[in-house]
Amino acid sequence: MSDRSAEFDRIHDLLAGLPAGERVIVGPGDDAAVLRPRDGFDLVVTTDTFVEGRHFRRDLLDAVGVGRRLAAANLSDLAAMAAQPRWAVFSCVAPRALAAGWLRDVEWACAAALAADGAAVVGGNLSSGDGPCSFCVTLFGEVERGRHWTRSGGRPGDRLAVTGTPGRAAAALALASAGDAPSPARVPAELWEAYVSPPSRVRAALALARAGGVRAAIDISDGLFGDLAHLAAACGAGAVLRGESPGVPGGGAQERMGPSDDYELLLAIEPARYDDCARAAAAAGAPLTPIGELAEGGALLLERTDGSRVPLRGAGWDHFG
Amino acid sequence: MSDRSAEFDRIHDLLAGLPAGERVIVGPGDDAAVLRPRDGFDLVVTTDTFVEGRHFRRDLLDAVGVGRRLAAANLSDLAAMAAQPRWAVFSCVAPRALAAGWLRDVEWACAAALAADGAAVVGGNLSSGDGPCSFCVTLFGEVERGRHWTRSGGRPGDRLAVTGTPGRAAAALALASAGDAPSPARVPAELWEAYVSPPSRVRAALALARAGGVRAAIDISDGLFGDLAHLAAACGAGAVLRGESPGVPGGGAQERMGPSDDYELLLAIEPARYDDCARAAAAAGAPLTPIGELAEGGALLLERTDGSRVPLRGAGWDHFG
């Protein structure tokens, strides 16, 4: 991290007024930040990059929306590990001509969303670069030693559930992007809200971790089916989804599933603990929707309402596919 | 951090074969990495972004050079805090058309340089994006609780010294870039080596920390004079540099000082400990060059060989100046 006079003033301007973090020994303004992890805790680290034209369109999403979605992408990864967010670094590459106010609003919105879950921005970097602007956040959290979730702990018979209602943000984006002139105006307000201000599942994940019973978890922002395939493979299991479940499209709809653009979690839950988990998640603002279960073998099947089973198709978003 | 089929395979390909880190509980391949800091240590975090056309030119620097310099930029920040590098995350935004082999070579070279100082790449992100490619590394290190260096601990009378010979990399780049057809061929090999494979000062910093006596430190990759100004201001002091010192251009040369492009350290050292420090640094491969001292008041002065003093001018590189 470096200081570069006007750039430094600009970074300082970006960071001033953001909430100071806990256990921050040296914050922004030195060569590096110094943080004090709690003894007995592990550190959980994720990073996500948002690139204009790939992860957001400036004609559809304002600075606040970009910042909130960037925070949500990182928070969702920590939620999927049952970690408490603590600190973040925020970097930006932007053309010189881009308005400083717009960049500041992105960072403020991102920092405010991170702060709502307990994380403080402790440093960052601002570089000029031609082409689309991009933002990179690295977020660190803490979890009691050995108590993190992974993708791989599920067993055949575990109940599969998603938090919230995946698909709303993707639907909002699809509606807004349709037609010659992209516009949010044609999107129902509740759907648009799910896209521009995705709810964080950190609180629900921490409540579920306290309740016990979650054996595997994954963030499904790249699409439910693709991420289910990753989770099942990591567990050495297959899965059966039920077509009548909300969030699981039946019939031909599944072929159209791409990135969900929602930051929800897919969980594999010990059957005997499912009801406790459902209560804990609902109390934390993220009702669970059961969608099926893990199964023996490696097949991923969709069980339709008539009882017939078909192979599940569809994969997540692929940047280089 | 996310998995995205072909993108996932590509990331996996990028990360396979890199050295696994110590105290890595969950490495690449889940939603986030899980790391186990040592009890009693603080965490030191820095991030640096390299943008094509700003921080490197592909017609002058090959993939290995880009990766090594990116590692050096981050390692230098941790050295300036006296921290032991441990873990890193590596992100890249690149056009789809860019050769996968080139990206892999950047990451490998970066990871190898980080590994040489004890840090392992534990995750990352690969996104497609039009425009110049960019790389962002966030590097974490450890330091015994409360034993980090800052920019602010120096006092008037402290000796100022730099590690190595700042200016070689900048000279190499200037020579290579001169003329209509940029080429490294006209650059003396030793200078070019300083640019494409900058030495790490981590080992020297750790040796100096053990020796004791360093009161303030800063990385001078943005230019000696600008970073000296930051250090002096943080210390609430001024400084006198001596024009006859290697690394400190006398006469008109100072007006031309920009980014040094070298990853060296500027240190403020307790006078009584200077000789011990010089021995420790030299034994760790980074001889110190004394360049002056911190002084009362806020003025930054250059003392010429004839004893006259002139205000020091020149500032570091400014992305948005």
- Look at residue B222 in the predicted model and tell me its pLDDT: 81
Chain A, 177-196: which have a CB under 8 Å from a chain B CB?
Answer: none
What digits encode the pLDDT tens for the residues B59-73?
Answer: 899 999 999 999 999
Q: Which of A44, A89, A96 sits opposite B47 (nearest CB)?
A: A89
Find all residues with CB under 8 Å of B77, minimum gap 6, and list them: A1, A2, A31, A32, B46, B48, B139, B219
pLDDT number for residue B167:
86
B73-121 pLDDT, tens per residue?
A: 999 999 999 999 999 999 999 998 888 889 989 999 999 999 999 999 9
- Let me know if residue A122 belongs to a domain: yes
| pLDDT tens-digit series, residues A50-107 | 999 989 989 899 999 999 999 999 999 999 999 999 999 999 999 988 888 899 899 9
| Enclosing domain of residue B87 | 6-144
Contacts of residue B42, defined as CB under 8 A and 6 or more positions apart, other chains included, come to: A25, A34, A35, A36, A37, B142, B143, B144, B145, B146, B148
Q: Closest residue of A to B317, CA-based?
A: A4
For A31-62, what is the HEC assignment? CCEEECCCCCEEEEEEEEEEEECCCECCCCCC
- Chain A residues lying within 8 Å of B37, measured CB to CB: 37, 42-43
The pLDDT of residue A255 is: 36
CB B106: neighbour CB atoms within 10 A? 27
Cα–Cα–Cα angle for A213, A219, A221, rounded to 5 degrees: 150
Distance separating alpha carbons of residues A129 and B133, to the nearest angstrom: 9
Lowest mean pLDDT among A54-58, A189-193, A248-252, B99-103: A248-252
Domain stops at, among A94, A120, A144:
A144
Q: Which of A115, A144, A173 is the last residue of a domain?
A: A144
Task: Decide if A134 and B143 are in contact by the 8 Å CB cutoff.
Answer: no
Same domain, B187 and B59: no
Residues A195 and A221 in one domain: yes
Q: To the nearest whole percent, how much of chain B has pLDDT over 70?
A: 86
Mark yes or no for CB contact B51/A138 under 8 Å.
no
Q: How many domains are contained in chain B?
A: 2
A315 near B CB under 8 A: yes
The answer to whether residue B321 is domain-embedded is: no
Hey, what are B18's tokens?
């890199």
Sheet harboring B288-295: ordered strands across? B214-219, B265-269, B159-163, B288-295, B238-242, B300-303, B309-311
pLDDT score for A159: 98
Q: What is the pLDDT of residue A119?
A: 96
The verdict on pTM exceeding 0.80 is yes
Number of residue pairs across A and B with CB atoms under 8 Å? 279
Contact A228, A221 (CB under 8 A): no
* Higher pLDDT, residue B46 or A2: B46
Average pLDDT over residues A283-303: 95
pLDDT of res. B210:
97
Chain B closest-CA separation from residue A245 CA (Å): 25
Q: Is residue A103 assigned to a domain? A: yes
Query: Does residue A153 or residue A10 have the better pLDDT?
Result: A153
pLDDT at B257 over 50: no
B134 and B165 share one domain:
no
pLDDT of res. B125: 87
> Residue A260: pLDDT band by 50, 70, 90 thresholds?
low
Q: Does one domain contain both B213 and B294?
A: yes
Check residue B304 and give left, alpha or beta (phi > 0: left; psi -120 to 50: alpha). Answer: beta
DSSP annotation string for B274-317: HHHHHHHHHHTT--EEEEEEEESSS-EEEE-TTS-EEE------
Which residues in chain B are contacts of A130 at CB distance < 8 A? Answer: 53, 131-132
What does the DSSP assignment read for A179-224? SSS--GGGS-HHHHHHHHSPPP-HHHHHHHHHH--EEEEEE-TT-H
Please state the ipTM of this predicted complex: 0.90
One-letter amino acid of A60: L
Q: How confident is the model at residue A6 (pLDDT cuts 50, 70, 90)?
A: low
The dihedrals phi and psi of B67, each to the nearest 5 degrees, come to -65, -40
Closest CA to B66 of B98, B44, B33: B98
A169 plus A293 within the same structural domain: yes
DSSP A273: G
| Segment 24-53 of chain B within 8 Å of chain A by CB | 25-26, 30-37, 39-40, 42-49, 51-53
Whole-angstrom distance, CA of residue B164 vs CA of residue B252: 23
Q: Look up the CATH number of the domain holding residue A103.
A: 3.30.1330.10
| A318 CA: distance to closest CA in chain B (Å) | 5
Vertex B153: Cα angle to B313 and B254 (nearest 5): 15
Q: How far apart are the first and last CA of chain B?
A: 33
Per-residue pLDDT at B321? 42
Partner A contacted by B318 (CB < 8 A): yes
Q: Sorting pLDDT into bands at 50, 70 and 90, what band is A144?
A: very high
> What is the band of A181 on the pLDDT scale with cuts at 50, 70, 90?
confident
CATH assignment at residue A179: 3.90.650.10
